[in-house]
Amino acid sequence: MEPSSSSTPLTPTAPAAAGKLASDQAAAGKPASDQDSADKPASDQDSAGKLASGLLSAATPASPSLQGSPGDGCDQEALASPMARPVRVRFAPSPTGMLHIGGARTAIYNWAFARANGGSFILRIEDTDPERSTEENTQVILRALQWLGLDWDEGPSFAGDALAGNAPASEPTSQAACPSADKGAFGPYRQSLRTTRYTQTLETLKARGAAYPCFCSKDLLDAKRAAAEQAEGGYAGYDRSCRSLDPREAAARIAAGEPHVWRLKVPIGRPEIRFDDAVYGTVAFPAEVMDDMVLVRTDGSPTYNFAVVCDDADMQISHVIRGDDHLSNTPRQILIYEALGMEPPVFAHLSMILGPDGKKLSKRHGAASVEEYRDRGYLPDALVNFLALLGWSLDGETTLIARDELAKQFSLERVTKKDAVFDEVKLDWMNGAYIRAMGDSAWVGLARPWLLAAGAQALDLERRPEWYHKLYPLLAERLTRLDEIPDKLAYLFWGDRVALDDESVASVLLKEGCRAEEALLACREVLADTGIPWECEALQEACRALAEPRGMKAKALFQPLRVAVCGNKVSPPLFESIELLDRADVLARIDSTLHRAFGA
């Protein structure tokens, strides 16, 4: 059996981490099963968060680079002043699926913080899980970030076209593409390509006397755990039985090929691990529950916490902004920084995004990934605005915040610890506001896939763009999402046919005493008159003039006409629609409706 390890649950003890946070982190820090799963990364649902006041200024420390010869170590006195270091933040998703809303919000916060402070936004792919990480998923994440408009300064380059606008799954604007070379001076930006660095950094820890080999098998550790759990006091973590092995014996066992892991030599008697979190304030974890965590597994692969520290240090990350499900990882990472003689970055842990039912946001609440929201017709600027406000505010009142303003005004001080609730009704309202503000040219560009779904022809879109621009004012006040376009505009592409809604026929055309047939015949006569300009106002006034002589209200004339032309009693403005249609097609629809409803 190969050696194994266990970790003990970590619960912060500081006042800022009281109550809910303590219980949450006790769960988040529960022991990993054993070394092949020890300290696996927390979920990419870096849940929505909100930061406490006053803890961070614009520029805080970057970690010094680990680059150098194996065993070099790093002189603590050589570190520059934390406040003098440039802002460098990273978003580090695992390509095990799509980019989910929680991860997107974490990326937005990192991007906005970098932009507001003149810093760098780094994208790093944590793809060390060979069974779940795929290149296809990596491309999905890159496309989603590009669609959101979150441009990264360093990281994997994307060879495919950036998504210029919304594209439902049936009409993709870009196929998955293979990445080209990374951009940036601190790559590679994929963990699977950084194994040499992890080996070098382990050598540094060995040279500093901060790491040791452990030969305990999984069976042995399981037996020790079971015995400890039955004894008074319970399980207290790995008992450090290999820590005191004679170095010559350890070297001989390694040379003989005995399976082993490498563990961090946590200082005995170390005081509590305390750090200032940019969300929760001062947080402390009891050091006595920290066992000697595994750094490198028997197969040579690094554990999550070790790889993350290596990467963040190499890339000189100044602020780690991530979900609070990673809070229990922080003391472990701080211990690794200390073992390397390095100063940790500033940590900012973001609280959770909840569904309307108060439970953690998940697929049961509806769409969960960025691309699902794209496919449902949400605009990237609206989604960025909405997600930014799940825990951060500009002034407590402003709701619509342009991307450029977010990039200027974002600060960690205005993020709150309170969990955010994902309110899709508010998102729909906000998306509608962005649609109303975007203008006809931008709307036609973004709406193209849904216009095609409604019945438009691609060549026609190119041949007469001005006609399509006229559709925007018909819908701007009536749309909350772009995927509503086919239902609302399909009637404009029926030609001389009409698809009558049965309920509208029954409640409007066949309603007793409504005189619908008379109304349609009268309106048809007006619409057939080539002496009346085929323009909205002229046609509406001519038809309205029919009402008074017949003792009818204008609505009694217009509702049957709406059903006959648009197929439904609910539609965009009637006469604006008629103006956009061919006269012969409108008359043919009226004739067809008269025949179906009245046998005329």
Concatenate the DSSP letters of all residues of 389-439 into one string: TTTB-SSSS-----HHHHHHH--GGGB-SSPEE--HHHHHHHHHHHHHHH-
The encoded tokens of residue 132 equal: 């779940």
Q: Which residue has the higher pLDDT, 183 or 109?
A: 109
- The predicted pLDDT at position 442 comes to 96
One domain, residues 444 and 523: no
- The predicted pLDDT at position 357 comes to 84
Residue 386 lies in a domain: no
- The predicted pLDDT at position 35 comes to 33
One domain, residues 127 and 256: yes
Burial bucket for residue 237 (CB in 10 Å: 0-12, 13-18, 19+): buried
Give the count of domains, the chain: 3
Q: Supply angle C-alpha 99, 100, 104, rounded to 5.
A: 80
Residue 411 lies in a domain: no
The residue from 30, 359, 363, 426 that is catalytic is 363
* CA 370 – CA 150 distance, rounded (Å): 13
Q: Supply angle C-alpha 418, 103, 133, rounded to 5.
A: 145
Cα within 13 Å of Cα(490), Cβ side: 14
Residue 68 lies in a domain: yes
The H or E element spanning position 452 is helix 440-454
Beta-sheet pairing, 353-354 with 420-421 = parallel
- The predicted pLDDT at position 124 comes to 97
Residues 311-322 have a mean pLDDT of 97
pLDDT at 207 over 60: yes
pLDDT tens digits for range 95-109? 988 999 999 999 999
Q: Is 363 among the residues known to form the active site?
A: yes
pLDDT tens digits for range 534-584? 999 999 999 999 999 999 999 999 999 999 999 999 999 999 999 999 999
The encoded tokens of residue 266 equal: 């946590």
The domain in which residue 183 lies consists of 15-163+179-354
**CATH no. for residue 255?**
3.40.50.620
pLDDT at 85 over 90: no
Largest CA distance in the chain: 111
- The predicted pLDDT at position 396 comes to 85
Q: Residue 31: which pLDDT band, with cuts at 50, 70 and 90?
A: very low
Residue 377 lies in a domain: no
* CA 14 – CA 281 distance, rounded (Å): 9
Residue 405 lies in a domain: no
Residues 12-18 have a mean pLDDT of 41
- The predicted pLDDT at position 470 comes to 97
Last residue of a domain, one of 314, 335, 354: 354
One domain, residues 462 and 530: no
Residue 3 lies in a domain: no
Percent of the chain with pLDDT over 90: 70
**Cross-strand partners of 349:** 322
The encoded tokens of residue 461 equal: 């879109």
One domain, residues 452 and 566: no
Give 15's contacts (C-beta < 8 A, 6+ positions apart): 281, 282
pLDDT at 39 over 50: no
Question: Tokens 């008269």 label which residue?
Answer: 594
Output phi, psi for 344, to 5 deg.
Answer: -70, 160
Residue 45 lies in a domain: yes
Instruction: Give residue 403's region: left, alpha or beta (phi > 0; psi -120 to 50).
Output: alpha
Residues 376-398 have a mean pLDDT of 95
One domain, residues 458 and 527: no
One domain, residues 528 and 460: no
Report CA Rg, the chain.
32
CA distances from 203 to 65, 79, 198 (A): 15, 21, 9
Closest CA to 32 of 242, 225, 240, 275: 225
Average pLDDT taken over every residue of the chain? 84
Q: Which residue has the higher pLDDT, 83 or 315?
A: 315
One domain, residues 499 and 525: yes
- Asked if 293 and 305 count as a contact pair (C-beta separation under 8 A), the reply is yes
- The predicted pLDDT at position 568 comes to 95
pLDDT tens digits for range 489-523? 999 999 999 999 999 999 999 999 999 999 999 99
One domain, residues 306 and 451: no
Residue 385 lies in a domain: no
One domain, residues 565 and 471: no
Residues 169-183 have a mean pLDDT of 50
The whole-model pTM stands at 0.82
**Cross-strand partners of 123:** 91
- The predicted pLDDT at position 313 comes to 97
Q: Residue 3: which pLDDT band, with cuts at 50, 70 and 90?
A: very low
One domain, residues 114 and 144: yes
One domain, residues 233 and 98: yes
Q: Residue 131: which pLDDT band, with cuts at 50, 70 and 90?
A: confident
Last residue of a domain, one of 484, 514, 544: 484
- The predicted pLDDT at position 236 comes to 63
CA distances from 224 to 235, 314, 441 (A): 9, 37, 69
Residues 256-267 have a mean pLDDT of 96
One domain, residues 24 and 134: yes
* CA 53 – CA 115 distance, rounded (Å): 20
> How many of the other CB atoms lie within 10 Å of CB of 81?
8
Percent of the chain with pLDDT over 70: 81
pLDDT at 149 over 60: yes
Last residue of a domain, one of 425, 455, 484: 484
**CATH no. for residue 567?**
1.10.10.350
pLDDT at 355 over 60: yes
- The predicted pLDDT at position 18 comes to 35
